[in-house]
Structures are given as structure tokens and as C-alpha cells.
Amino acid sequence: MKIDYLIVGQGLAGSLLAWKLMARGKRILVVDRDEEITSSKVAAGLVTPLSGSRPNISPAFENRLLSAKKFYWEAEEISGARFFHHLAIIKLFRDRVESTRWSSCDLSKESPLNPYLAPLTIEPKHLHSEYGGFEMKGGGWLNVPVFLEATRQHLLERASYAIGNVNADEIEVSEKCARWRNIEATKIIFAEGWRAGGNRFFDWLEMNNALGDILEVKIPELSELTKIVNRGAWLLPLGNGRFRTGSNYRHGTSSGLPEEEGRIQISEKLETITPHPYEVIDHQCAIRPIIRRSQIFCGVHPSEEKVAFFNGLGSKGVVNGPWYADRMVAHLEDKAPLPPEADIRGNLV
């Protein structure tokens, strides 16, 4: 079987790349382990224009947000599924220091922050808001598991998806192609998340993977809450008093299984958001791929022209991912340069 691209992994990175390559009319095959729990399936999928404890926004954010929304809307139309949701975000300050930082920032009409800010309107009895906050416009969330399943079905309809474990040791590379079993591909692209550290082609990358925990909880007193809440941690409404909440980064463990330590960490964070009691319905966790300082890396292998890499989308992957996937496809197909900070060939040490 001869194809243009073999993509290893159907997480967020692999799925985005698959859509972009199919839009170019390329023959692809995505091979995935089909695991029940992965970092993409557990990811919150939040779109937060203003993040962190300091008042700033990336100059590239608006362009990337518009690009991402356009992509998800088009994918929804093609697939018939709905996975991208507009939702305002309540940003609550954690302490007086954070409150002071925000109160002193420029909020004039010319400020890049201004389009994303609105007054805070909440019931103080439901949320810890003693230091104030604001409402963030332009936010929302991607239901990543629904997006991944819609992508899988789209690939299956085109005979472009297979369940399997691509072992890098089984790959033969020549000047002509990359071969895996009976598949000959012009290029093979690894988008396999944290497992990249064990891949013989990319085991030189500095990876510092971490376990991330997410809880699903029931809080009846917050049944009317329809906005995402962020106060160091986040609370995402699912309806009928059910929420997802997280998250954390736990290093030094590779079990990939829920542990009491993770549940306690998320519970403590949740209690800083709301005074109401809650019931834990579910606890999920997965290993996040973290490359250096949560850096996205992509491009062609430094010495193997038939082998490529697209990985490390991180917490802002929902917004940044489609933009970087466009850059990656343009690089592969048109030899366009990649952003220097993300080009794997320029970041060897």
C-alpha cells in the first residue's frame, strides 16, 4: 500500500494534521493505539484569551483564535458533530497581589486587553470572589474526545484509519520512502505524545512528561452556573450540576493511573473556587507530553528526510494547534519555513 503520509497517533496533534493534509488531497493513514485514556482525551480543551496571573495577551493570539475557530466550525460542518463551544469565562483573582496587577493595567479602548474584558457579575455566595475579578469574552472550550471521535469516523469513511502500535524499530527508511510493514509512505509523521521519548528517531529530545488529573464532580448548588470559572484552577460546567475540574502537573510518576495524591490536589484547588460541598463522580488522569518548556516542536528529522515530528501542543493546543498544523503542512508540501522556535532542526540541544 502506497500513501503520501503515515501519521502515528490520533490525539489532538495527529487529528489536526490529518484534517489539514486531507484538505490538500493527500493520501494518508493514521495509525493509533485506540487507548481509552490519553492526554488528549483527558484534556480540558479550554480557550482562555487571558491566562496567567499577569495582564497580558500574545500579539499572535487573535489571529490564531480566528484561525482555530474557522477550522473547528468547518470540521463540525463536514463531520456533522458539535465539539467547539463558545462560553464566557469568569476570572477570579486568587489574592491581593493578582488583583493589584490587573487593576493597574491599561484598559483603554486602544489596549489589546479591552476586547476580552467585561464586568464581573456573579453571586458571591457561590464562588470565592473576595479579591474581585472580571468576565473574559472570546473564550470557550473544545470537547476534545468528541472532536477525536468525529475525526476517527471521518478517517474511517475514507479508509484512512487503523488501530495498531507503530514501533519505530520496525520502520525502514530509504531515499524513496519510509516503510512500515506493508505501508510505503513518502513520509511518516510521529504525533504520539509522551511516547516520543522512547522513539529511536527522537529519543534525544528533552522531555519532562507529567501526569495530569481531572475530576468530574457534582455540585447541586451550582446547577445554574453556565460559565467556565478560573481561579488558579478551572471549573467547567457540563449541565445538571455536573462539572469537570482541574488541573495539575505531577512529575516523578509514570503509572498513568489515578492516585489519591492527584485527587487531593484537585480537590484542594476546587475548594478555592467554591464554598459548596461536592461529590466526586469520576477521576481521570493521563501522561502529558512536555518538551522542554512546554514547547511545540515540529518538522523533519535532522538526518532522516522521510521521518517527521509534530508534538507538544500543550495547554494552549486547542488555539495554537490548527495554526501550527497549517505551518507544518506548508513546510512538508511547499518547503515553507517553520517558525524558528518550533523547528525541530533548529533545536537540537
Summarize the confidence of residues 262-267 as an average pLDDT: 94
Looking at the chain, the whole-number percentage of residues with pLDDT higher than 70 is 95
Segment 63-83 mean pLDDT: 94
Q: What is the pLDDT of residue 89?
A: 94
DSSP state of 272: T
Residue 312 binned pLDDT confidence (cut-offs 50, 70, 90):
confident
pLDDT in tens, 20-54: 999 999 999 999 999 888 888 888 899 988 776 66
CATH class of the domain defined by 2-44+145-207+292-346: alpha beta
Q: Please list, residue by residue across 268-299, b when 16 or more beta carbons sit within 10 angstroms of its beta carbon and e when fewer do.
A: ebbeebbeeebeeeebbbbbbbbbeebebbbb
**pLDDT at 256 (0 to 100):** 67
Q: Per-residue pLDDT tens for 139-148?
A: 899 999 999 9
DSSP track, 132-180: -EEEESS-EEE-HHHHHHHHHHHHHHTT-EEE----GGG-EE-SS-EEE
CATH of domain 210-288: 3.30.9.10
With vertex at residue 339, the alpha carbon angle to CA 336 and CA 340, rounded to the nearest 5 degrees, is 110
Taken in order 151, 38, 324, 298, is the CA torsion positive or negative? negative
The lowest-confidence range among 67-71, 95-99, 239-243, 247-251 is: 247-251
- pLDDT for res 21: 98
Backbone phi and psi for residue 144, each to the nearest 5 degrees, phi listed first? -60, -45
Residue 157 to residues 84, 114, 153, 270, Cα–Cα distance (Å): 22, 44, 6, 41
Q: What angle do CA 31, 36, 39 make, to 5 degrees?
A: 80
206-247: pLDDT as tens digits: 888 888 899 999 999 999 999 999 998 999 999 999 999 998
The pLDDT value recorded for residue 44 is 83
Give the integer Cα–Cα distance in Å for 320 and 323.
Answer: 5
Joined together, the cell numbers standing for residue 88 give: 464566557
Delimit the domains of the chain by residue range: 2-44+145-207+292-346, 46-142, 210-288
26 against 105, higher pLDDT: 26
Over residues 264-293, the mean pLDDT reads 91
